[in-house]
Structure 1
Amino acid sequence: MPKKPVPGFILRGNVWHIQKVIKGVGRLRESTGEREIERAEAYLARRLAEIERQVIHGVRPVRTFREAAIKYLNEAEKKSLSRDAASLALLDPYIGRLPIDQVHMGTLEPFIKDRRAAGKSAGTINRDLAVVRNILNLAARLWRDGFGQTWLESVPMILPVKGPKRKPYPLSWEEQGRLFKLLPEYLGNMALFAVNTGCREQEICQLRWDWEEKLPALGTSVFILPEWIVKGQEGKTVERIVPLNKVAKSVIEGQRGLHPEWVFPYKGKPLDRMNNRAWRTARKEAGLEQVRVHDLRHTFGRRLRSTEVSLEDRQDLLGHVSGRITTHYSTAEIRNLIDAVEKLCERDRAPELTLINLNKGAKEVRAAQDFV
């Protein structure tokens, strides 16, 4: 005689699943994750008690930070999601198993202490904490369960840690030649574009062909970066114009035809960031482990200053928000900015800066000359 099915359960494969109608609540359908019926029944008893507390007393179910992190990674739409995933992987051993209402500065302190001991800067640690802050804000303000309750009642203050700011490290010409020759072609092109335009990492990674503006009167083109990609101060952003000197133009021409949308594709997609394993390996081999991708922008700014480009033009070229900046430049103003960045190609001791990928299909990053 076949065994009668247990009321409220159904066996799928080797695992018991709940299928039960709860009065005043509705149908409960979920896996118990258990193979033994006794353990499945104990799981159901706990769930019923949890639902009763939630419905009658308004008590939120206990959810761990790990559950919240998984939900965030599955639902978020961010260009830098891989960076957030890396932060969450580091945070998980410290707060992954904690209920989300127990995540605060006190429980984060061991993580902060260990990161400091590992030599991480305050900026790096604060980027990790920002992910925690973002998830807790979503849990308290957006995410709701089937009963309309938010995952978290209130958000604790997650304060940024303080520490000395890492000083900029503009590259010398010799250091640039040493580093760039060790980069793979795709990354070398991006780095060379950075030191000749001052573009930020994400501006380069996300650069698109439809942002290019042809200027027939000047026989060249510029890129107009939209507001959403340009980093501003105090929440203020404006479009940014990116003039091209002859080195930057050579890089752009070498990229044409590689992808219909992205200027700097890698395996058919844009990179999440330039600071990848190839970058870190190259700078280590070059003896320049202190150099960050953002230092390419500092290099651009320092060289503009050394060639006596005016403060106003430097602000425009670096995309700094000011009361006067606008993308509605006259032809004469654009020509002035192009002349300014062209000075970066004029060197007393060498004929030209590194030029790479002049011909499509170039197999390696080449330096036109090593600078001493």
Structure 2
Amino acid sequence: MSLKKRGNTWYIDFVAPSGERVRCSAGTTDKIQAQELHDKLKAESWRVDKLGEKPRRTWDDAAYKWLTETDYKRTHKQDVSQVRWLQQHFRGKYLDELTRDVIAKVGELKKRKTSPATANRLLALIRAILRRAALDWEWIDKAPLIRLYREPKRRVRYLTPPQAQKLISELPTHLADMVSFSLATGLRQANVTKLEWSQVDVARHVAWIHGDQAKAGKPIHVTLNETAMSVLTKQIGKHSRWVFTFKGKPIQQVTTKAWYKSLTRAGIEDFRWHDLRHTWASWLAQSGVPLNVIQEMGAWESAEMVRRYAHLAPEQFSQHAKVVDLMLNGTNLA
């Protein structure tokens, strides 16, 4: 039998001309629809074997192969989540049916529900999968052109030292320590919450983030200043493995009700935990630390990410601007 019913759903089962056995769900309870899909698949398998046509692959095939080949990525869980969301729109569709217009409609839907930035992450994943399907797997002749949305540039949000001190005073102790440590080191949230004592050398006043823990995939050297050391000293003896804990357990979530209530009491609006990192970089720039040094300390992969702090360092650039004064005044620089 080419069609079999299991429960209420019809299943397809036949042997292709190549000798390969094809078994799959028709995804329907209607026998007529199941028969149409069966005939379609059987005809396609004949054309592939007898006429040398490429087998038509579905989005499901491509998404599964992509996730299998890229399970080493730090963003693998995010890819899985995005593919799961896309299944409601792309499930069962052939790759050659995913035209520019079809993809654009899905992108527009995501943008309306979230933001241009979130939609762009989704579109970038679709583009990566289809490009690999075309260039590496040769499942399709050409990947469609996918245009991303223009993203508004976010302003740099940072605290003044008095604001930071006010926030710390309003926070519960375990969060106050983590905020102080973040402001002292510029580390990202995950690197602070997952910091282990094996990554800290108290005697040498240094810590390190392993490459697989860093956003850029490269190890980060962290110089521990007096503020950071003071915070670490308070944590000694609380847990044998994790540096920052609450009631004997590692801290998983920092943006809790306590965090938001403390922001309100401190009179601070429109501020995220990640803005602590912006605050750290902004303070360095305002104090004259060169941008290339900030980039190295913050482990940014590109200088473009650091240029957003350039406007906070007018004194640093004014020193270089004075070179023109010397030239116009006829001073012999040599």
Q: TM-score range by the shorter chain?
A: 0.5 to 0.7
**Which residue of the partner structure matches residue 39 of structure 2?**
45
Question: Aligned to 2:206, which of 209, 222, 226?
Answer: 222
Alpha-carbon spacing, 1:93–1:13, altered in 2? closer, same or farther (3 Å): closer
User: Residues 56 and 94 of structure 2 are in contact (CA less than 8 Å); yes or no, is this contact kept in structure 1?
Assistant: no
- 1:5-16 equivalence runs, <5 A: 7-8=1-2, 12=6, 15=9
Structure 1 length as normaliser, TM-score? 0.59
Alpha-carbon distance, 1:170 to partner: 1.0
Alpha-carbon spacing, 1:87–1:196, altered in 2? closer, same or farther (3 Å): farther
Whole-Å separation in 1 of the counterparts to 2:41 and 2:292: 65
User: Residues 198 and 300 of structure 1 are in contact (CA less than 8 Å); yes or no, is this contact kept in structure 2?
Assistant: yes
* Residues 194-229 of structure 1, C-alpha deviations (whole Å, 9 max, x = no match): 2211123454455454433x36xxx34422234454
User: Residues 280 and 289 of structure 1 are in contact (CA less than 8 Å); yes or no, is this contact kept in structure 2?
Assistant: no
User: Residues 201 and 293 of structure 1 are in contact (CA less than 8 Å); yes or no, is this contact kept in structure 2?
Assistant: yes
* Residues 20-46 of structure 1, C-alpha deviations (whole Å, 9 max, x = no match): 433423223334455676665444323
Whole-Å separation in 2 of the counterparts to 1:126 and 1:160: 6
User: Residues 17 and 49 of structure 2 are in contact (CA less than 8 Å); yes or no, is this contact kept in structure 1?
Assistant: no
**Which residue of the partner structure matches residue 291 of structure 1?**
271
Question: Aligned to 1:199, which of 157, 166, 187?
Answer: 187
**Which residue of the partner structure matches residue 164 of structure 1?**
152
Give 1:224's aligned amino acid. Answer: W
Whole-Å separation in 2 of the counterparts to 1:101 and 1:275: 44
Give 2:207's aligned amino acid. Answer: F
User: Residues 283 and 289 of structure 1 are in contact (CA less than 8 Å); yes or no, is this contact kept in structure 2?
Assistant: no
Structure 2 SS opposite 1:52: helix
Question: Aligned to 2:228, which of 235, 248, 254?
Answer: 248
- 1:31-70 equivalence runs, <5 A: 31-33=25-27, 40-57=34-51, 58-61=53-56, 63-64=58-59, 68-69=62-63
- 1:1-372 equivalence runs, <5 A: 7-8=1-2, 12=6, 15=9, 17-33=11-27, 40-57=34-51, 58-61=53-56, 63-64=58-59, 68-69=62-63, 72=66, 76-77=70-71, 78-85=73-80, 87-88=82-83, 99-103=94-98, 105-110=100-105, 113=108, 120=115, 123-141=117-135, 150-176=138-164, 190-204=178-192, 207-212=195-200, 214=201, 219-230=203-214, 239-252=219-232, 254=235, 258=239, 260=241, 285=264, 290-307=270-287, 309=289, 314-320=294-300
Gaps of 5+ in 2: 303-334
Alpha-carbon distance, 1:169 to partner: 0.6
Alpha-carbon spacing, 1:42–1:312, altered in 2? closer, same or farther (3 Å): closer
User: Residues 73 and 81 of structure 1 are in contact (CA less than 8 Å); yes or no, is this contact kept in structure 2?
Assistant: yes
User: Residues 207 and 222 of structure 2 are in contact (CA less than 8 Å); yes or no, is this contact kept in structure 1?
Assistant: yes
Alpha-carbon spacing, 1:85–1:320, altered in 2? closer, same or farther (3 Å): closer
Structure 2 SS opposite 1:224: strand
Alpha-carbon spacing, 1:290–1:141, altered in 2? closer, same or farther (3 Å): farther
Alpha-carbon spacing, 1:240–1:104, altered in 2? closer, same or farther (3 Å): farther
Percent identical among aligned pairs is 26
Alpha-carbon spacing, 1:36–1:294, altered in 2? closer, same or farther (3 Å): closer
Give 1:101's aligned amino acid. Answer: D
Alpha-carbon distance, 1:185 to partner: 7.4
Structure 1 SS opposite 2:130: helix
Alpha-carbon distance, 1:290 to partner: 3.2
User: Residues 45 and 55 of structure 2 are in contact (CA less than 8 Å); yes or no, is this contact kept in structure 1?
Assistant: no
User: Residues 197 and 244 of structure 1 are in contact (CA less than 8 Å); yes or no, is this contact kept in structure 2?
Assistant: yes
* Residues 314-365 of structure 1, C-alpha deviations (whole Å, 9 max, x = no match): 444323569xxxxxxxxxxxxxxxxxxxxxxxxxxxxxxxxxxxxxxxxxxx
Q: How many residues align?
A: 298
Alpha-carbon spacing, 1:133–1:289, altered in 2? closer, same or farther (3 Å): farther
Gaps of 5+ in 1: 1-6, 145-149, 323-372
Whole-Å separation in 1 of the counterparts to 2:269 and 2:84: 24
* Residues 90-113 of structure 1, C-alpha deviations (whole Å, 9 max, x = no match): 666666675433445544444555
Structure 2 SS opposite 1:130: helix
Greater RCO, 1 or 2 (C-alpha within 8 Å, sep 6+): 1
Structure 2 length as normaliser, TM-score? 0.64
Whole-Å separation in 2 of the counterparts to 1:97 and 1:283: 49
Alpha-carbon distance, 1:248 to partner: 2.7
Q: Which structure is higher in helix share? A: 2
User: Residues 111 and 118 of structure 2 are in contact (CA less than 8 Å); yes or no, is this contact kept in structure 1?
Assistant: no
Alpha-carbon spacing, 1:15–1:81, altered in 2? closer, same or farther (3 Å): same
